Structure 1
């Protein structure tokens, strides 16, 4: 896929202006009622262990809604890693009269019941970041998630080869994402597509419940006891699980640390990369993603239905979708990818503890 996040966002904005419901492929109808200029829009995010949701997704989404519809109200809730809690939050928002739900599900299967409740009230649901296993989803806004996994695995395998690590010397631990997250299965599939043909053995792998970095840390500790120096690399599906894995390796006195992957370009992950503890992360441009979801929500409030860039299958249904392009980030790419895009500033990244590493990386 060659589209850039900015290009997708611009294309979406153009579509918003001119296209209507005629292109719908999954039969979902809008539930626009009342005055669209004062509509309530629900934003439901899945957990608090992933920093991006509170630091980026929510404020970007609210910012764009405020620009497009100053008198609209965003109702917000975070499920804190609890599918039942997210269900209750969605029911509360429906009772409060939201016109659209933007839902990043903690559990993509159980969240289908939320879509069912919303559909019964004529309220469309946008699946945000993670796919919901319901044919009645109005839109899906995410990234090319198999590509994320491939980028992580390619960086890891390439680094092992740069270090002249012989596959006979050991193998890779795979710290995957949550088993309830559809994206995690796509990351894993993309990673396996690279690792399985690389010659490097997967020593063991773990699907981290709820993306909990503490559980990732505990599991990696057990694998260090089991495999010791045979661990030559760690595939970690995101930055918090990478942090858990690195904490275990350091606690066990492993030195030098093997290369460890990550995802989301979180501040702590980028700082670990600067310090040499984490090898890479994957940058996903969250502003275009959140802005696009907000634009689609306002479209639905106004009974407009722009076409998707692609379609994603859920059963026999084809969900209009927008899949943005992720980018790999190693130490030398932090400035050109993350800082130049305005995701973090040098001041945020290069605090006193990281000043020396930032100078070495040419950031100050």
Structure 2
């Protein structure tokens, strides 16, 4: 099983176990091999628009006959458990899991909310409540993803807070990139999703077919999960701000200049040196 840990800006892909060929057994033939991809939710655009197609494309390039069993838990841990069990029942040799449940970063705050379903609308309501309780005195907002960041920003703008305090985010959604250009959101955590998805696909393919893992895929990196040292691929997340957006998100073609710099954001793009 492969997994991604969602937190503030730490951790990506790691091999947690497998059902590959045992010692002395013949590797499984690629034809008919099934690999399950279990995604956590769909409100964050990256999972269905980036992670899934990148992963599927890489698996198909490595193994045209392999079958991918993809599912999305829609932020429901019990549903994800059922999807994992169904994938195993349907013959999946490897589970690539981005878990719904994850540990949150320890940050001292004056108001804290566990936003259901990562909902921007619910985040906006929660931020409105916080502003009322704090008499609009806010020094910063630590938001765990770009959707909740957008909700918090909407609440502060509705309350007439100027200038907006620093607001974090994660996932590098297009709307968040545009907010960063306008100065509404300070930063977003950028994970190079394509190499992340492709690395997961390479590992899943080799586990599923019982082929030896390429020595360069992990570079000898391991992570101890409390029981054993797990061979892992760790990608470095980046904090993307207005200053480095061009050299990261645009340089990687994660979002193009045309997608970002629509008419509404053209002046902000020029000021940031993108146009």
Q: Same fold (TM over 0.5)?
A: yes
Aligned 8 A contact 1:60 1:291 in 2: yes
Q: After superposition, what is the alpha-carbon deviation per residue over 1:170-226, rounded to whole angstroms, capped at 9, x for unaligned?
A: xxxxxxxxxxx23xx2xx23xx4xxx6xxxxx3222333443333322221111001
TM-superposed CA distance for 1:31, in Å, is 5.4
Provide the rounded CA distance (Å) in 2 between the counterparts of 1:217 and 1:83: 24
Q: After superposition, what is the alpha-carbon deviation per residue over 1:151-181, rounded to whole angstroms, capped at 9, x for unaligned?
A: xxxxxxxxxxxxxxxxxxxxxxxxxxxxxx2
The yes-or-no answer on 1:267 pairing with 2:174 is yes
**Which SS does the other structure have where 1:298 is aligned?**
helix
Provide runs of 4+ in structure 1 moved above 6 Å: none
The yes-or-no answer on 1:226 pairing with 2:133 is yes
Structure 1: stretches of 5+ with no match in the other structure: 1-11, 13-24, 108-180, 197-201
**Which SS does the other structure have where 2:189 is aligned?**
strand
**Which SS does the other structure have where 2:88 is aligned?**
helix
TM-superposed CA distance for 1:242, in Å, is 0.6
The yes-or-no answer on 1:327 pairing with 2:233 is no
Provide the rounded CA distance (Å) in 2 between the counterparts of 1:26 and 1:260: 33
Aligned partner of 1:89 among 62, 83, 86: 83
Equivalent residue number for residue 142 of structure 2: 235
Aligned partner of 2:260 among 349, 353, 356: 349
Give the TM-score normalised by structure 2. 0.84
TM-superposed CA distance for 1:318, in Å, is 2.5
| Number of aligned positions between the proteins | 254
**Which SS does the other structure have where 1:80 is aligned?**
coil
Give the TM-score normalised by structure 1. 0.65
Aligned 8 A contact 2:33 2:209 in 1: no
TM-superposed CA distance for 1:43, in Å, is 0.7
Provide the rounded CA distance (Å) in 2 between the counterparts of 1:362 and 1:31: 53
**Which SS does the other structure have where 1:324 is aligned?**
coil
Structure 2: stretches of 5+ with no match in the other structure: 1-12
**Which SS does the other structure have where 1:44 is aligned?**
strand
Aligned 8 A contact 1:217 1:247 in 2: yes
**Which SS does the other structure have where 2:37 is aligned?**
strand
- By percentage of residues, which structure has more helix? 1
Aligned 8 A contact 1:31 1:100 in 2: no
Equivalent residue number for residue 32 of structure 2: 38
The yes-or-no answer on 1:363 pairing with 2:274 is yes
TM-superposed CA distance for 1:252, in Å, is 1.4
Change (3 A) 1:26 1:265: closer
